[in-house]
Amino acid sequence: MTLETDFVVVGSGIAGLRAAVELARAGARVTVLTKDRREESNTEYAQGGVAVALSEEDEPQHHEEDTLAAGAGLCDERAVEVLVGDGRRYIEELIEWGTEFDREGGRLLFTREAAHSRARILHARGDATGHEIVRALLARAGAERNISFLAHAETESLVVGEGRVCGVRYLDPLVRAPRALAARGVVLATGGAGALYLHTTNPAVATGDGMAMAYRAGAELSDMEFIQFHPTALNLEAAPRFLLSEALRGEGGVLRNASGRRFMPRYHDAAELAPRDVVTRSIVAEMERTATRTVFLDMTAFDAAHLRRRFPKIYRTCLRYGLDLGREPIPVSPAAHYVMGGVRTDLEGRTTLPGLYAAGEVACTGVHGANRLASNSLLEGLVFGGRAGRAAAGDSKGAPVRFASDAEEAATRPGGADKDVGRVSAAAAAVRKRVRRLMWERVGILRTRAGLERALKEFGEIASAPLLAGPRNFVTVAAIIARSALWREESRGGHYRLDFPARDDARWRVHSVIQRDAGLYGSETVDFPALQSRET
């Protein structure tokens, strides 16, 4: 059975919700599919806040300069201009829609985080910024009669007909049977792929499905080798890798080794406020130097009442595991956090495949370059989610809803499902566990040719076995990240090669681009369709 809508939005984080609102405002019927409950997304877990040049002491130009510096020479300058320029209007709109950012004396309260030259980070309830933004956007989306939500509906594949994306296939959440949904266009807002790693700050739903579906359908992916590892995730044996926000170090927290000595000033002039990739590698080096598996984030110089008020969620979570943030240093170590690359888009969210749009972490707009500036991700999802929704509505005015033929549709489906669901579930769990360990050990913070080649060999062996769609997506994205990392023979931003430790602008100031039928090559720009500097 094939159902119809005007547009499908896959994902209900900040980018998906903002796109859905924009489409509904244009009069379109919008169906939002979510893999889990509609509140579950990377946005929901965002603690650090949203960066925006709104204070009297700040200007978009300063925000742009900081973003370009963090991106290590690979940011698209026009995309950054759009982010910091339009960002102010989009944040003001969020406030009009009821988002309650923290204030002091009635004025918005701005804080500073690593690699920012100004205090420009807005928070909500201290460390619950993402939760508050999702609440406000869900309320705004709920006011639009044209938007409907379908939760626990796992999208299996994009449907392509006559070279255009014209719908999706998903699993019906009630009967777990395949369903088809035809549309004039699809907006991917599925988030990132942090859950591909053994240690991650991301929720379990962040498995790169949108990237895999877009790749399989023929869209280009770019900059997939650049993975940001957050330096400070809670490191306890019995606890999840809960994120300890960048704002803790922005507030003045310091990192100490197992002997209680502060070490970051030895690695970088900015100490704890150095870019995330620098802090992450410094922690790894210090753990190796001291033969330990953790370092400690020390906030004991601050009054406990202040910490409870400023970081309520972090404070409560630490207490749940027997740790008092105000009385003792907290054990931390790095964890996979954010994918700078993704489905290649222009400044309006258009991908290289007609009818397909992408926004948020699933997309590669060129904003982040090789290393995302702290707290830019929520702003990117908001700004480019809105732009993608507007472009999708405008591009398809008057276009009919049509579905692909069976033959066309079969080409983009993952296939490989086994009828023995119990056995496949066990096999899928084993595959995910093996992939996560390989990604952490071989495609992680420190990379080498030998390690990447070994990972790719094992991914190839895993992919040759019959799998359900979920694990196949998992392995597809893992292999793309590893292949891109093997291709880039330098170190830059979130990609560090022990065998090529230097940044090499003469050869590698290019974007990696990978496509199912064209392989992997380099492009000097994120623009398309004109591509330059092809390297196979």
Confidence of residue 470 (pLDDT cuts 50, 70, 90): low
Instruction: Supply the pLDDT for residue 43.
Output: 52
Backbone angles phi, psi at 155, to 5 degrees: -75, 125
256 catalytically annotated: no
Instruction: Supply the pLDDT for residue 276.
Output: 83
Res. 2: pLDDT tops 80:
no
Give the mean pLDDT of 64-88: 96
pLDDT tens per residue, range 19-36: 999 999 999 999 999 987
The full set of domains in the chain, from first to last, is: 232-335 (3.90.700.10), 415-508 (1.20.58.100)
Res. 60: pLDDT tops 60:
yes
**Tokens coding 315:** 């404070």
Sign, CA dihedral 52-58-59-61, equals: negative
Res. 445: pLDDT tops 90:
yes
Instruction: Supply the pLDDT for residue 464.
Output: 85
pLDDT tens per residue, range 379-424: 999 999 999 999 999 998 766 777 665 545 544 555 544 344 444 5
Instruction: Supply the pLDDT for residue 277.
Output: 87
- Whole-model pTM: value is 0.91
> Distance from first CA to last CA of the chain, Å, rounded?
42
Which of 241, 276, 372, 497 is an active site residue?
276
For 59, 151, 221, 461, 462, the CA distances from 455, given in Å and listed in that order, are 45, 34, 20, 10, 11
Res. 156: pLDDT tops 50:
yes
Give the mean pLDDT of 352-362: 97
| CB proximity list for 251: less than 8 A, separation 6 or greater | 111, 299, 302, 310
Instruction: Supply the pLDDT for residue 81.
Output: 97
Res. 535: pLDDT tops 80:
no
Dist CA 134 CA 116 (whole Å): 25
pLDDT tens per residue, range 105-133: 999 999 888 789 999 999 998 777 888 99
Instruction: Supply the pLDDT for residue 417.
Output: 41
Instruction: Supply the pLDDT for residue 517.
Output: 87
pLDDT tens per residue, range 324-347: 999 999 999 999 999 999 999 999
Preceding omega of 529 cis (within 30 degrees of 0): yes
Which residue is associated with the tokens 């999708």? 392
